[in-house]
Structure 1
Amino acid sequence: MPAVSTLRVAHQFLLPQHTLSRLVYRITRSRNRFVKDRLIRWFVRHYRVDLGEARDRDPAAYLDFNSFFTRALRPGVRPLAADPETLVSPADGRVSEFGTLDGERLLQAKGRAYSAVDLLGGSEQRAAPFRGGAFLTIYLAPCDYHRVHMPQLGTLRESVYLPGRLFSVSDASSRSIPRLFARNERVASLFDTPAGPMAIVLVGAMLVGFIDTVWGGPASYPYGRQPRVRRYPDTNAQAPTLARGAQMGHFGMGSTVILLFPRGRVEWAPALETGAPVRVGEPVGRRVGGAQGSAA
């Protein structure tokens, strides 16, 4: 590990990650105008946020910083790729890595891989459909739109909250911290789709201890210590089916989205490149072959 990278990430092992995230959680939900208006305006300037795309363009219109951070966009600013066979980007951000799993292992950064079993909470059963399959990792920067959308039609079968650390998911951390995405707090959602099983994993990070889903409210149960599993349909709820491009969740701050697909069911778009920017609704791949499972 290069010395510079080591210095950039070593302090994270010493920081009280969850305590800091709890503090940020409270500050970002303050409705004190003095606090929230100044924080929002500073953030817009510092990160060059394009509020022209937002449904509410006035920084003072938001109840708190979290409402601003998870802001909705104006209708039409993220059109879906027209071809229904196309997989669309679930998030605004940058392609961190993509490709094919080597058995159950997927690439985190050059020279570093981790296990889909670990990513999905240590369950061989959850990871089995994705062995040798396709993966896409998207990093969301602070300036990005932070709602997460469906790459294709899907019916939810299982949603799992997995407690963990809150390391930064920056490039330096990805290169330096082993099994980063499988160690951080995360929510894994498994769907039946026309391309077979699909996993969408929302990974928390430093100061990002809150993940929300549209079907169950706060999914990350901030700072929990035990995994929480919900399977669908259950005795209290029908399995939600979400359309291609529909919102499925959001981050309380920014982080990472990971998609997993079975072997031979997805081809990534020729134009997709590591480091390239992507936006919700843009084509990132397409379905191929027959489906192993389908949306209900």
Structure 2
Amino acid sequence: MNNTTSPPSPNWRERLFIALQYLLPQHLLSALMWRFTRARLGFILPSFIRLFVKHFAVNLDEAAEPSPAAYSTFNAFFTRALRFDARPIAADPQTIISPVDAVISQIGTIENGQLIQAKGRQFTLTELLGGAPDLAQLFDGGLFATLYLSPRDYHRIHTPAAGQLRSMLYIPGRLFSVNPATVRGVPNLFARNERVICVFNNEHSPFVLVLVGAIFVGSIETTWAGEITPPRGTVIRRDDYPNDDAPTFARGAECARFNMGSTVLVLLPPGRAQWLADKQPNDRIQCGAALGQWQSGTG
């Protein structure tokens, strides 16, 4: 992976921010956020939403409902739907699309079972996948993309390719922030945080979406099983969907959402696809835009 240099030293503000996260009651604060974002705040809510929109430069013109007064709770605003034409899907059916609005944190190849977290930091595929060696072996040597959703972004998650759900794993863990400073400073962050792993199959290959929780992410929700968190568990849970009636998704279909924001990782097996050459770390990408391409002859 050619990333053996040490990570840049965080400044004192970043060190303090990271140190506080080790001390804070992460799950309690996230539970309180869950309650707050679902509280009916009456006449206060539209003003609060307007402040949020201004501070984070949210483009409400893209929303299916652009008026702050139309939302009954902050979570309804945060997980708002967009206009039907706001996120066109790349036309070529061989294209792998971005499942979210995001900044590309990292993108590349999984080498020797390792993924890049940040410059000088790596973590293992097996740890990310909750210690499932069969699943990790399937994707070793394949591709990964780490997509960071900021507060300004659209927070519904769509499938990067057509596929049928085969299994879902809930992995309990910590709830560190996933902002760039914490990603640089906390070792094995994505393999330590709570996450939901969704494994799909399609005509080309299997693919995986890893939905990573974070502090103040009140819940992770899927379209087929509802809220996965809360409640938050202490053991790995796995649900398999082996039958022909398992949930099936068209390319670009909504499959999940973050109730508050976080990170999504896309995993593809080796020899099946390639990322577009112009997609690099720190690039912004919109849901539905081309991220990669299936290789010919993989059907």
Q: TM-score, normalised by structure 1?
A: 0.94
2:287 aligned with 1:276: no
- Contact kept in structure 2, 1:210 and 1:252, CA below 8 Å: yes
Q: Secondary structure at the match of 1:155?
A: strand
CA distance in 1, matches of 2:32, 2:50: 20
The percent identity for this pair of structures is 47
Give 1:198's aligned amino acid. Answer: F
Deviation per CA, 1:192-236, whole angstroms, max 9, x where unpaired? 0233110100101111141010111012233222222110036xx
- Contact kept in structure 1, 2:126 and 2:136, CA below 8 Å: yes
Deviates more, 1:27-36 or 1:121-130: 27-36
| Stretches (4+) displaced over 3 A | none
2:25 aligned with 1:33: no
Instruction: Flag structure 1 segments of 5+ consecutive residues without an equivalent.
Output: none
CA distance in 2, matches of 1:240, 1:269: 28
- Contact kept in structure 2, 1:147 and 1:247, CA below 8 Å: yes
CA distance in 1, matches of 2:91, 2:138: 28
Counterpart of 2:4 in structure 1 is none
Deviation per CA, 1:245-290, whole angstroms, max 9, x where unpaired? 0001000001100000001111111210110000011001100154
CA distance in 2, matches of 1:209, 1:33: 21
Counterpart of 1:254 in structure 2 is 261
CA distance in 1, matches of 2:186, 2:255: 28
CA distance in 1, matches of 2:46, 2:65: 14
> C-alpha displacement at 1:133, in angstroms?
0.4
Give 1:243's aligned amino acid. Answer: A
Matches within 5 A, 1:125-140: 125-140=134-149
Matches within 5 A, 1:135-146: 135-146=144-155
2:153 aligned with 1:148: no
Counterpart of 2:245 in structure 1 is 238
1:19 corresponds, among 20, 28, 32, to: 28
- Contact kept in structure 1, 2:10 and 2:181, CA below 8 Å: no
Q: Secondary structure at the match of 2:15?
A: helix
Counterpart of 2:94 in structure 1 is 85
CA distance in 1, matches of 2:296, 2:119: 30
Give 2:172's aligned amino acid. Answer: P
Q: Secondary structure at the match of 2:18?
A: helix
Deviation per CA, 1:78-101, whole angstroms, max 9, x where unpaired? 111110000011000100000000
> C-alpha displacement at 1:41, in angstroms?
2.0
CA distance in 2, matches of 1:142, 1:220: 19
CA distance in 2, matches of 1:161, 1:110: 28
CA RMSD of the aligned region, Å? 1.5
2:105 aligned with 1:114: no
Give 2:263's aligned amino acid. Answer: T
Counterpart of 1:171 in structure 2 is 180
Q: How many aligned positions are there?
A: 290
Deviation per CA, 1:37-64, whole angstroms, max 9, x where unpaired? 3332221121111110000111111110
Q: Secondary structure at the match of 1:108?
A: strand
- Contact kept in structure 1, 2:10 and 2:185, CA below 8 Å: no
Give 1:157's aligned amino acid. Answer: R
Q: Secondary structure at the match of 2:169?
A: strand
Q: TM-score, normalised by structure 2?
A: 0.93
CA distance in 2, matches of 1:178, 1:209: 23
2:224 corresponds, among 215, 220, 230, to: 215
Counterpart of 1:195 in structure 2 is 204
Deviation per CA, 1:79-138, whole angstroms, max 9, x where unpaired? 111100000110001000000001211110011111111111111012111011000010
- Contact kept in structure 1, 2:275 and 2:291, CA below 8 Å: yes
CA distance in 2, matches of 1:103, 1:194: 26
CA distance in 2, matches of 1:87, 1:204: 24
